[in-house]
Amino acid sequence: MKNRFRNALAIAAASAIALTGCSDPGADTGSDGPVTWPAQDADLSGTTLTIWAAQNSNTVPDSVIAGFEELTGAEVEVVTIPDPYEQGVQTKVATGDKPDLAFWQPTASQLTALNATQNLQPLDDAPWLDAYQPELRDITGILDDTRYATLITTPAVEGVYYNKEVFAANGITATPTDWDSFLQTARDLKAAGVTPFHEMAADKWATQWWVQVQLADAAADGLWDRVNANEESFTDPTIQGAIDNYKALIDEGLFNEDIKTATFEDQGAALLAGDAAMVMQVNSFFGQLQSLADTEELNQKIGFFPISPSGNTGTFIPDQSNALVAFKTGDEKREAAARQLLSYWMGDGYQDFVNAQSTVSLQTGVETPADVPEALLTVSESVGTSVGSMQALAIANPDLYLYLADMIQGTKTPAEVAEATQSQFAELAKAQGAEGF
Amino acid sequence: MLAKGKAGPRRQDHPLWFLIPALAVLVVFFLVPTVFNFVYAFTDWSSFKSAINFAGVDNFTSLFSNGTLVNALKVTLVYAVLVAIFQNAFGLGLALLFEKDTRVNRAVRVAFFVPVIMSALAVGYIFQALLKPDGALNGIIGWFTGTEVSIPWLGSTTWTIVVVAIVHAWKWMGLSMLIYLAGLKTISEDVLEAARLDGAGRWTMFRSIRFPLLAPAVTFNVATALLGSMNGFDIVQATTEGGPGGTTELLNIFIFRTFGQGLFAQATTMSLVLFLLVTILAFPVIRFLRKREDVL
């Protein structure tokens, strides 16, 4: 009897394993071949397209979808993937679940994370490319010379948001022109009794901007290429130096006293109220300010300037709400329909889209609406001359922000931050099969 | 496979092959994933490429050479021990307090059991809001002391782990209470009466009679609290996300983060390490607790 039982168990186990298979369920060769671009108004009755979006981007496509559905008869569904969005999408894609389109950070590291060559449709000869302003056309969305992502809104730039009234009250008439004058301004403000900088270490993610803007000159000089090839590391003087500087500025007392417990919400409120003069942030911070004040108040109070060691070069970091990718789903009809939706979005639907979103237009032939706040215009003007961030240029995106937050909390030294970041970077690069790791 | 003839009548009523549906479910949903947990730990499975290749013990060596895993293991153990202590102290306290079957006690027992059936994430987010520097707890303390209080309960690199362990214990103390109550009910009235006749006071009665006789309940409660909280994730993720400064980064939070990076094989390796750790810990703990039951 015991033997029989054992046999049954063995058979059940064997068949279960056979059923499950040992292959990666995310593997899908998809359809490769010459890509056609259907006309924007081709009939799509009976076709349903799915767009994955995050909690902060799920209403972005509304105007486009309404226009597209009316024009083509297609049905477009937006599915919200809960935060953390990137993890959620990667996990779903790894298990074989794919939408037709998804919001996605158009950087090389994040495209690699989605295994773009396997999972995404190449968009190399898309009809809208020539409509872009020339300096924005190839700024991002490209991995190994193939275009996989479509930039729909102006990418975020790391730089300094400042309170104009605080500057004026302290006799500061011109914004800083390089890193030294930037720090001088901060020290002058501190001497006058104002908190120069505000940081939000409780929410962690913004800590990395301070390190990245200090690397702008080095990034222009190929820093991330060297890091990608394992010729330079986070522990070498360039990046380690930027981390050390950040720590020194905090120790000097240039930041808010509650730096360890302050949150993203606190940061917006503090800058708007003038409790702090400057905040090193990206565009989503301005979105936070917009939820607290109207355009008129923001124009009056809030300004922006990019900063780098030698001047005012911005550091751009496109995020998930700035771009879309189209998936290889294996269904040729839906793949073509997804391309058609993108054509419409960046074509006839684009003016409506920038109007509805009150955002800066990326195209020469499409006007930026008048109600875009001034600070956002300044941000967008700096994109053309800016350099890529770690996320944009490095092949992997280690949790630098997390380790920096640990440093602010006092559980890591600057040297340990660099070590932890480098070892995680190496781990990710090795998993990608990058040369030199 | 059907057993014919020779087996007794009982066998004919319950042929072994009736087990197959249940067994199939067990194999597909429990055995195979566990086996794969072992298999994938030795591969280079990631989100970056489709092929999965054998990688030997590569994942293990790189994980152990990196301090983060050791730190996460340490945090997990400390957390589990704290949860086990608090959850049992609270549960036993409540059980003794509401031991008598009065109408009020029954209602209060239900109230304390409610957190057990609540969503752990909801509990986490509620406590996160309560414990914020400008949250309700500081408001209450401030009202009593008449001063502005802004203690960052979740902001200390030393004490936050204790705070989150208490939150975890708060959520599960109702279950421990229930099991201790059941344990208290099984103690024979004769023994208690004998003790009373011998002149035992309340404290002696508890220390020398009732607590030793609760041994099976203690075994169950300590083992489930200790080993269950080693798998903790939801409450800590909702309250601190592993912060401040990584001091509450449980192994599961570390696994979650690694998985999110697309390093699936490494994440699997870590969960295998956790599985082994729980197993290694389970045997001596349960053995020690069972030994205490020998008095029965």
pLDDT tens-digit readout, B104-124:
999 999 999 999 999 999 999
Per CATH, domain A35-154+319-366 is 3.40.190.10: yes
**CB hemisphere CA count around A378 (13 angstroms):** 20
Q: Shortest Cα distance from A203 to chain B (angstroms)? A: 9
Measured distance CA(B195)–CA(B213) in Å, rounded:
13
> Is residue B270 included in any domain, yes or no?
yes
Has residue A17 got a pLDDT over 90? no
pLDDT on residue A437? 86
Percent of chain B exceeding pLDDT 70 equals 96
A205 contacts in B (CB within 8 Å)? none
Domains in chain A: boundaries: 35-154+319-366, 156-317+389-432
Q: Shortest Cα distance from A52 to chain B (angstroms)? A: 17
pLDDT on residue B112? 95
Measured distance CA(A300)–CA(A379) in Å, rounded:
16
Has residue A23 got a pLDDT over 90? no
> Is residue B56 included in any domain, yes or no?
no
pLDDT on residue B9? 59
pLDDT on residue A147? 92
pLDDT on residue A3? 54
Tokens describing residue A63: 């105007």
Determine the 3-state secondary structure of A325 from DSSP: strand
CB A302 within 8 A of CB A162: yes
Structural domains of chain B, count: 1
Tell me which architecture the domain covering A156-317+389-432 has in CATH. Answer: 3-Layer(aba) Sandwich (3.40)
State which residue of chain A sits closest to B16, comparing Cα positions: A5
pLDDT tens-digit readout, B132-147:
888 899 999 999 998 8
The CATH number linked to B155 is: 1.10.3720.10
pLDDT tens-digit readout, B73-91:
999 999 999 999 999 999 9
Q: Judge: B16–A8 Cβ closer than 8 Å, yes or no.
A: yes
Has residue A31 got a pLDDT over 80? no
Rounded to an integer, the average pLDDT of A227-238 is 95
Measured distance CA(A138)–CA(A401) in Å, rounded:
27
Rounded to an integer, the average pLDDT of A283-307 is 90
Has residue A89 got a pLDDT over 60? yes
Tokens describing residue B287: 């053995």
Asked if A433 is an interface residue toward chain B (Cβ–Cβ < 8 A), one would say yes
Asked if A59 is an interface residue toward chain B (Cβ–Cβ < 8 A), one would say no
Q: Shortest Cα distance from B243 to chain A (angstroms)? A: 8
> Is residue B58 included in any domain, yes or no?
no
Least Cα distance to A324 among A204, A205, A147, A188 occurs for A147
Length reported for chain A: 437
pLDDT on residue A18? 45
CA gyration radius, chain A: 24
Rounded to an integer, the average pLDDT of A291-295 is 88
Name residue, tokens 């039982």. Answer: A5
Tokens describing residue B218: 């203690």
Residues 6+ apart with CB under 8 A from A133: A362, A363, A364, A384
Measured distance CA(A150)–CA(A106) in Å, rounded:
8
> Is residue B105 included in any domain, yes or no?
yes
Measured distance CA(A88)–CA(A113) in Å, rounded:
12
Tokens describing residue A247: 């720590």
Has residue B205 got a pLDDT over 80? yes
pLDDT on residue A283? 87
Tokens describing residue A392: 């944009």
pLDDT on residue A281? 94
Q: Shortest Cα distance from A120 to chain B (angstroms)? A: 13
Return phi, psi of residue A386, to 5°.
-80, 165
Measured distance CA(B246)–CA(B160) in Å, rounded:
11
> Is residue B18 included in any domain, yes or no?
no
Rounded to an integer, the average pLDDT of A201-224 is 93
pLDDT on residue B5? 47
Measured distance CA(B57)–CA(B265) in Å, rounded:
11
Length reported for chain B: 296
Tokens describing residue A156: 């975020």
Q: Of A427, A428, A437, which to mutate for an interface test with B (greatest number of B Cβ within 10 Å)? A: A427
pLDDT on residue A1? 43
Measured distance CA(A361)–CA(A170) in Å, rounded:
35
Has residue B6 got a pLDDT over 70? no
pLDDT tens-digit readout, A386-434:
999 998 899 888 999 999 999 999 999 999 999 999 999 998 998 888 8
pLDDT tens-digit readout, B38-56:
899 999 888 887 788 888 8
Residues facing residue A76 across a β-bridge: A49
| Mean pLDDT, rounded, of chain B | 89
Give the torsion through C-alpha atoms of B103, B107, B109, B110, to 10 deg: 140
State which residue of chain B sits closest to A17, comparing Cα positions: B32
Rounded to an integer, the average pLDDT of A289-317 is 92
pLDDT on residue A28? 45
pLDDT on residue B170? 96
**Residues spanned by the domain of B116:** 68-295
State which residue of chain B sits closest to A4, comparing Cα positions: B1
pLDDT tens-digit readout, A180-211:
999 999 999 999 999 999 999 988 889 999 99
Confidence of residue A30 (pLDDT cuts 50, 70, 90): very low
B14 contacts in A (CB within 8 Å)? none
Q: Are domains A35-154+319-366 and A156-317+389-432 of this chain identical in fold? A: yes
